[in-house]
Amino acid sequence: MIVIPALDLLDGQCVRLKQGDYDRVTVYPLDPVAQALNYRQRGAEWLHIIDLNGARDGTAYHQELLREVCEIPGLAVEIGGGIRSLETARKWLDAGAERVIFGTVAAQNPEMIAAAVREFGARHVAVGIDCLNGRVRIAGWRSDGGITGTELGHDMVARGVETLIYTDIQTDGCMTGPALDAGLRLQTETGARVVLSGGVGNDVDILACAETDIYALIVGKALLENKATIVKL
C-alpha cells in the first residue's frame, strides 16, 4: 500500500476543513513547499494536493506554488480541486503534476473523463468519488451529484479510468478511522485501484489499512498534527 501525505491549500495556506465545510477551517502555520519537502525527506513518494479555492470557485489558483512543489526530486504530485475542463487539467499537468483528479465534472459530464484518458493517458488521470451516505457529492461537497459512488465508479472504469480516490465525507478531517470497508468494496466491485481518503487518525489506522488490498491511503490532518508519522511503508 502506498501512503500519500495530503496538503489542502486555501489562499496559499495549508489548511484542513472538517467534513468539507469552509466555515470549519483549521489553518496550519506551515510553508506548503517546505512541508512537501519534509514529507519527501521522510520517504514519501507521492503527495496529494487539493486546491480548495479551485474546488469552491472552479479556478486553478495555486499554479506557481504547485510548480515549486513539483520541482522536489522524487516526489510525484496529484492535484485536485476545481478541475472541470481539459484545459485546466492540461495546465496542472504542464505545471508538473503527475496526476490530475477530476471530481464534480465526472458526475456532470462523464464523457469528458473519457476524453481526458484518451489525451493524457490513464496513469495521469484519477476520479475523486466523494460520498455522503453512499451518494456522490459535488461542487465542493455542497450539492448532490445524482448518482451513487458505486454507480459512478463503474461508469468511470468503463470510460478507461484506472484510479479512483474515495472519500467518505463523514470521516474526513475527523481522525476517527477511515471508511476502509467502503473503499475495499468499491475496489472489488469496480476493479479500479482505489485510493482511500479521510478519517486516518494515527499510525495504527495506517497499518490496519496496509494489511488489506487497498491500493493507497491518503493521510492529511493526522500528519499535520503529529498524530501519525508514517509516510512510507
Residue 111 is part of a domain; what is its CATH number? 3.20.20.70
CB neighbour class for 73 (10 Å; exposed up to 12, middle 13-18, buried from 19): exposed
Per-residue pLDDT of the chain (233 residues; tens, 9 = 90+): 999 999 999 999 999 988 888 999 999 999 999 999 999 999 999 999 999 998 888 777 898 999 999 999 999 999 999 899 999 999 999 999 999 999 989 999 999 999 999 999 999 999 999 999 999 998 878 899 999 999 999 999 999 999 999 999 988 888 999 999 999 999 999 999 999 999 999 999 999 999 999 999 999 999 999 999 999 99
> pTM of this prediction?
0.95
Indicate whether 230 belongs to any domain: no
Catalytic residues: 8, 130
Intra-chain end-to-end CA distance of the chain, in Å? 7
Indicate whether 65 belongs to any domain: yes
State the cell numbers at 30: 506551515
Domain total for the chain? 1
Indicate whether 233 belongs to any domain: no
DSSP structure string for 3-40 = EEEEEEEETTEEEEEETTEEEEEEEE---HHHHHHHHH
54, containing H or E segment: helix 52-57
Indicate whether 203 belongs to any domain: yes
Indicate whether 231 belongs to any domain: no
Domain extent for 69: 2-224
DSSP structure string for 152-200 = HHHHHHHTT--EEEEEETTTTTT-S---HHHHHHHHHHH-SEEEEES--
